[in-house]
């Protein structure tokens, strides 16, 4: 019961089959080439750190649908990259445990994501521990 909320699963990173998902945001086919190149590079870099990463380049669903799908599945971290992000050399990072988003420079991804996964793991654990403490009574 501690690994879900009203939006779906909330999986701890050490348990999640997919720890990070990368979703490209594009309007036309011309944009997908550069986005794919950047996303595959990020995916390879994160996998070299031992992180399970999925790059979802399916073109049969819109990005918003994919966001909801991976939120429902409980993927701990979602990375979204679009043409504007590519121009600014940034990427959007969304956490599943507290549903927050932030934009960071692409070159900081490799140091931030491992720390973020550890933080998410600790946050989920502490949330469950606090819930247990608050709801355990002696009679």
Tens digit of each residue's pLDDT (9 = 90 or more) over 56-110: 999 899 999 999 999 999 999 999 999 999 999 999 999 999 999 999 999 999 9
d(CA 131, CA 33): 46
Higher pLDDT, 94 or 30: 94
Q: What's the token pair of residue 130? A: 């606090």
CA 101 to chain centre: 10
Q: What's the token pair of residue 82? A: 């679009």
CA 89 to chain centre: 18
CA atoms within 13 Å, Cβ hemisphere of 46 = 29
Question: Would the pLDDT of 133 be above 90?
Answer: yes
């Amino acid at each position: 019961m501690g690994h879900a909320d009203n939006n779906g699963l909330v999986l701890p990173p050490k348990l999640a089959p997919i720890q990070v998902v990368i979703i490209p945001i594009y309007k036309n086919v011309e944009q997908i080439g550069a986005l794919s190149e950047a996303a595959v590079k990020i995916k390879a870099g994160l996998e070299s750190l031992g992180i399970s990463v999925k790059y979802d380049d399916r073109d049969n669903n819109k990005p918003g649908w994919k966001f909801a799908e991976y939120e429902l599945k409980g993927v701990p971290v979602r990375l979204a990259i679009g043409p504007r992000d590519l121009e600014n050399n940034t990427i959007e990072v969304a956490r599943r445990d507290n549903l927050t988003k932030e934009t960071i420079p692409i070159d900081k991804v490799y140091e931030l994501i491992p720390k973020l996964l550890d933080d998410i793991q600790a946050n989920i654990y502490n949330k469950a521990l606090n819930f247990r403490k608050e709801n355990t009574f002696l009679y």
